[in-house]
């Protein structure tokens, strides 16, 4: 081999060795970086900022279940930086995702820290970040579940309640057809059909009122409302019912106070309380309606001397279709929606309803509403307000409960 050939061969061999060594060094560096990445617990850039901006509970967890970073909402479930996941279901979810890769979501119940120890229904979602970290997001869906359950109950209860008058009307119609040759029986059945039709109309009207109150635009005519006119219209709408039951209606307390809201809705709410009080009061007793204005709050109290409400029923008395005395409510034609309407109407006006009751001594329902100053154009608007109040009273009287319902 000549000298030039030898030199070229040596150069080629050196070049191959150099390239091989360079590739080996590059591979070594990459392998080292990969190992560092796999064993590193460093949180990717930007993840912490994202966690801090989240409303849901979220955390970055390592292979041992140690919380490396978390959102502020995560503290409600006892998930803090530096702590480990205590809940076995969360640990199992994180472990399963880390082993299988990808993302997994499970529903579970967790207990929140602080004053509330009630289990919360959550949707927990775990996703792999890198090889050693897992992103855990916990969304509280308790309220959504409650609303869905309320919606299902409302539909089921409404369907059940509508079946009774509809079925009665159908049976009475058949009875009329069978008794066509007996005018006296026809009149009796016709009167019962009329009563059932009235009950059906009352129920559907109550359902519509409650639906409007629960809608986002439940209050359509908002303005200064004179409580004097609300009380007067509510009492006027139930004078006949009180006279028939031999119950005296009395009124007392402060005058000339105003709230902001919808006059007709407030008249219906107070009217429901008066109707209930009359139904559950013995003959010869008294139902009192009082008003007190103090510290920016107007209180409208409706008191009776009736049978009272058992302590076990007081927590549920404002639920839809709930009846403390099922037999009595059925007999008096109650729908079980009156107090629910009172509660939602009061809440729509930024207030609350309170209850005091003792079995055998009577009950007092108190509506508390934010007070406002009397409007400047009070004198100029008296006629218009009186006209609206009369219209509201007329509407309330036409749709009122003849025998009311407390539960």
134 and 271 together in one domain: no
Q: Is the pLDDT of residue 399 over 50?
A: no
Residue 404 lies in a domain: no
Please write the tens of the pLDDT for every residue from 279-310: 888 888 999 999 999 888 999 999 998 888 88
Q: What domain range includes position 108?
A: 47-140
Q: Give the CA count within 13 Å in the CB-facing half-sphere of 363.
A: 25
115 and 249 together in one domain: no
What pLDDT score was predicted for residue 194? 83
Q: Is the pLDDT of residue 91 over 80?
A: yes
CATH number for the domain including 76? 3.30.450.20
266 and 391 together in one domain: yes
Helices (H), 180-283: 183-214, 227-236, 239-245, 263-279
304 and 383 together in one domain: yes
SS3 of 254-270: the string is: CCCCEEEECHHHHHHHH
Q: Point out the domain boundary residue: 77, 112, 140.
A: 140
Q: Point out the domain boundary residue: 218, 248, 268.
A: 218
255 and 374 together in one domain: yes
What pLDDT score was predicted for residue 378? 61
DSSP-based helix, strand, coil % in the chain, nearest 5? 50, 20, 30
Q: Whose CA is closest to 400, among 305, 274, 298, 229?
A: 274
What is the layout of strands, in order, in the sheet containing 57-61?
Answer: 67-70, 57-61, 133-140, 119-129, 103-111
182 and 210 together in one domain: yes
Lowest mean pLDDT among 59-73, 132-146, 187-201: 187-201
CB 161 within 8 A of CB 321: yes
Q: Point out the domain boundary residue: 140, 170, 193.
A: 140
Longest distance between any two alpha carbons in the chain, whole Å: 139
Residue 254 lies in a domain: yes
- In the block, tokens 């009273």 appear at 393
Q: Is the pLDDT of residue 350 over 80?
A: yes
CA distance 65 to 190: 73
Partnered with residue 139 across adjacent β-strands are 123
Mean pLDDT over 221-227 rounds to 86
Residue 367 lies in a domain: yes
Residue 231 lies in a domain: yes
Please write the tens of the pLDDT for every residue from 238-269: 898 889 889 999 999 889 899 998 888 898 88
Of the two residues 268 and 218, the one the predictor is more confident about is 268
132 and 151 together in one domain: no
127 and 204 together in one domain: no
Residue 34 lies in a domain: no
Of the two residues 57 and 167, the one the predictor is more confident about is 57
209 and 356 together in one domain: no
Please write the tens of the pLDDT for every residue from 308-328: 888 777 777 777 666 555 444
Residue 39 lies in a domain: no
Please give the helix or strand (H or E) that residue 389 lies within, else none: helix 382-399
CATH number for the domain including 196? 1.10.287.130
Residue 35 lies in a domain: no
Q: Is the pLDDT of residue 385 over 60?
A: no
CA distance 371 to 126: 50
CB 114 within 8 A of CB 138: no
136 and 237 together in one domain: no
Q: Is the pLDDT of residue 108 over 70?
A: yes
What pLDDT score was predicted for residue 154? 67
Residue 78 lies in a domain: yes
CB neighbours of 265 closer than 8 A, spacing ≥ 6? 213, 219, 345, 348, 349
CA distance 218 to 347: 11
* Count of structural domains within the chain: 3
94 and 156 together in one domain: no
Mean pLDDT of the chain: 78
CB 316 within 8 A of CB 365: no
161 and 237 together in one domain: no
Under the banding of pLDDT at 50, 70 and 90, the label for residue 206 is low
Of the two residues 371 and 34, the one the predictor is more confident about is 371
Mean pLDDT over 183-199 rounds to 81
């Amino acid at each position: 081999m000549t000298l030039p050939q030898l030199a070229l061969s040596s150069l080629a061999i050196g070049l191959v060795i150099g390239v091989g060594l360079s590739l080996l060094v590059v591979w070594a560096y990459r392998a080292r970086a990969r190992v560092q990445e796999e064993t590193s617990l460093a949180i990717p850039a930007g993840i912490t900022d994202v966690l801090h901006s989240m409303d849901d509970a979220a955390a970055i967890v390592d292979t041992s279940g140690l919380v490396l970073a978390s959102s502020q909402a995560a503290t409600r479930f006892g998930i803090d930086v530096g702590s480990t996941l205590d809940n076995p279901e969360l640990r199992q979810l994180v472990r399963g995702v880390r082993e299988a890769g990808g993302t997994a979501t499970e529903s579970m119940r967790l207990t929140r820290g602080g004053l509330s120890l009630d289990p919360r229904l959550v949707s927990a979602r775990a996703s792999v970040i890198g090889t050693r970290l897992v992103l855990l997001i916990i969304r509280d869906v308790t309220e959504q579940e409650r609303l869905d359950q309320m919606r299902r109950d409302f539909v089921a209860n409404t369907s059940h309640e509508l079946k009774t008058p509809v079925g009665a009307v159908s049976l009475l119609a058949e009875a009329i057809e069978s008794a066509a040759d007996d005018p006296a029986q026809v009149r009796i059945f016709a009167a019962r059909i009329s009563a059932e039709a009235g009950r059906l109309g009352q129920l559907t009207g109550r359902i519509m009122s409650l639906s409007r109150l629960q809608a986002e635009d439940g209050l359509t005519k908002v303005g200064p409302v004179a409580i004097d006119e609300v009380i007067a219209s509510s009492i006027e709408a139930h004078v006949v019912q009180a006279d028939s039951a031999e119950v005296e209606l009395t009124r007392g307390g402060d005058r000339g106070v105003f709230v902001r809201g919808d006059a007709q809705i407030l008249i219906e709410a107070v009217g429901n309380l008066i109707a209930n009080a009359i139904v559950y009061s013995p003959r010869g007793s008294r139902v009192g309606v009082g008003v007190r204005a103090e510290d920016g709050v107007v209180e409208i109290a409706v008191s009776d001397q009736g049978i009272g409400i058992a302590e076990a029923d007081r927590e549920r008395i404002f639920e839809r279709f709930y009846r403390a005395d099922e037999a009595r409510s059925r007999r008096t034609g109650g729908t079980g929606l009156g107090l629910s309407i009172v509660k939602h109407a009061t809440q729509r006006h930024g207030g609350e309803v309170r209850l005091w009751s003792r079995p055998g001594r009577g009950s007092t329902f108190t509506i508390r509403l934010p007070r406002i100053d009397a409007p400047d154009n009070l004198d100029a608007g008296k006629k218009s307000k009186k006209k609206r109040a009369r219209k509201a009273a007329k509407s309330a009287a036409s749709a009122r409960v003849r025998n009311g319902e407390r539960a």
